[in-house]
Amino acid sequence: MQKMPPKILVTRKLPSAVEARLSERYDVRLNPDDRPLNRAQLSAAMARYDALVSTVSDALDASILQAPQRRVRMIANVGVGFSNIDMNAARTANIIVSNTPDVLTEATADIALLLILASTRRTSAAEKKLRQGDWRGFSVVDDLGTSVQGKTLGIIGMGRIGRATARRAHFGLGMQVIFYNRTRLADPVKVLGFAARQVDSIDALMGTSDVVSVHVPGGGAGPLISARHIAQMKPSGYLINTARGDSIDQKALVAALVEGRIVGAGLDVYADEPKVPDALLQLDNVTLLPHMGSATAEVRVAMGMLAVDNLDGFFDGSGLVNQVF
């Protein structure tokens, strides 16, 4: 008797090549409408499928992961981050979790660099003026931004994406780099290809950086970048976040921008996606993007294929490529 293929639920629409590969081997339910599943649907799926292919938009908390008559044994998360999954609950339930690092490093670092340039050059406000028909023509004194050459970029989290961003900023823009990381880099020159200074705390970084770029995971008990940290920034400073929205105290950032305590910000992620605070939407000193750090056709296919690699490794017993737990 032929063995039935594992049943897989894909929570969001994936590139067609990835969906085709999944359909070849698995009994797969796709999401052609790309509508996020609600809590009831995710909870019900835990008893109906052998594995989930999830994304950051799926909040898989303890109550969902520990649903009655759970069948799911593996979650292949499409993304480098996994703060959408309660990892303690996954461990308790013995659910294996994988992610998709490496393949999105360069694309996300590109977006970080874009936000550094867009925020410091005030391109969002300038484009808005142009589109609304308020541009009066070239002016020597209008729409002035800030040059970044020779300025200091402070990176919080010197992992893959932090390193790629640091190299772009140093070699491409001529910025000096300081950084905070949970572990010390024994030889930053060897790792980065240039001299960068590591500091021992976020506090030591905030007040000396002209631009602060956040590259840390979210999902903790509270934001790693707190209101106190934001208050330590230079009045001429900019804050960039391409990591997770809950990595920073979003309310404190909005207050600092509204009150002019920092000059600007560039954000690709938000604390309660897809909701973006109205206060942020009204500001002209912040550049806003819709969580598109990895949004190139090539990268999204690579992310999906890596998620399938992890599924294959789990179900054929060869081992996962990127196992988180």
Query: Are 72 and 198 members of one domain?
Result: no
| Residue 320 within any structural domain of the chain | no
Rounded CA separation 211/223 (Å): 19
Query: Are 141 and 251 members of one domain?
Result: yes
Q: Token pair 């920034």 is at which residue?
A: 233
What pairs with residue 53 in β-bridges?
10, 76
Rounded CA separation 70/65 (Å): 8
Query: Are 55 and 111 members of one domain?
Result: no
Whole-model pTM? 0.94
Rounded CA separation 246/223 (Å): 6
| Nearest of 250, 304, 323, 322 to residue 281 by alpha carbon | 250
pLDDT band at 2 (very low <50, low <70, confident <90, very high): low
What pairs with residue 178 in β-bridges?
154, 197
Query: Are 70 and 93 members of one domain?
Result: yes
Q: Determine what percent of the chain is predicted with pLDDT higher than 70.
A: 99
| Residue 126 within any structural domain of the chain | yes
| Residue 169 within any structural domain of the chain | yes
Q: Where are the beta strands (DSSP E) in the chain?
A: 7-10, 27-29, 51-54, 74-77, 96-98, 152-156, 176-180, 197-199, 211-214, 238-241, 264-267, 286-288
The per-residue b/e assignment along 117-135, b for 16 or more CB within 10 angstroms, e otherwise, is: bbbbbbbbbbeebeeeeee
What type of residue is 298?
E
For 142-177, write each residue's pLDDT tens digit. 999 999 999 999 999 999 999 999 999 999 999 999
Query: Are 130 and 279 members of one domain?
Result: yes
Residue 110 confidence (pLDDT) above 70: yes
Count of structural domains within the chain: 2
Write the CATH number for 23. Answer: 3.40.50.720
| Residue 133 within any structural domain of the chain | yes
> 9 vs 160, 204, 208, 301, 312, CA distance in Å?
29, 45, 47, 18, 14
Contact 186, 210 (CB under 8 A): no
| Residue 130 within any structural domain of the chain | yes
| Residue 322 within any structural domain of the chain | no
Q: What is the mean pLDDT of the chain?
A: 96
Can you give the pLDDT at residue 81? 86
| Residue 304 within any structural domain of the chain | yes
pLDDT band at 65 (very low <50, low <70, confident <90, very high): very high
Query: Are 86 and 139 members of one domain?
Result: no
Rounded CA separation 293/16 (Å): 20
The domain containing residue 255 runs over which residues?
A: 105-288
| Residue 321 within any structural domain of the chain | no
Query: Are 196 and 242 members of one domain?
Result: yes
Peptide bond before residue 274 is cis, with ω within 30 degrees of 0: yes
Query: Are 180 and 92 members of one domain?
Result: no
Query: Are 133 and 232 members of one domain?
Result: yes
Query: Are 82 and 165 members of one domain?
Result: no
Query: Are 140 and 160 members of one domain?
Result: yes
Residue 220 confidence (pLDDT) above 90: no
Query: Are 132 and 32 members of one domain?
Result: no
Where in the sequence numbering do the catalytic residues fall? 244, 273, 291
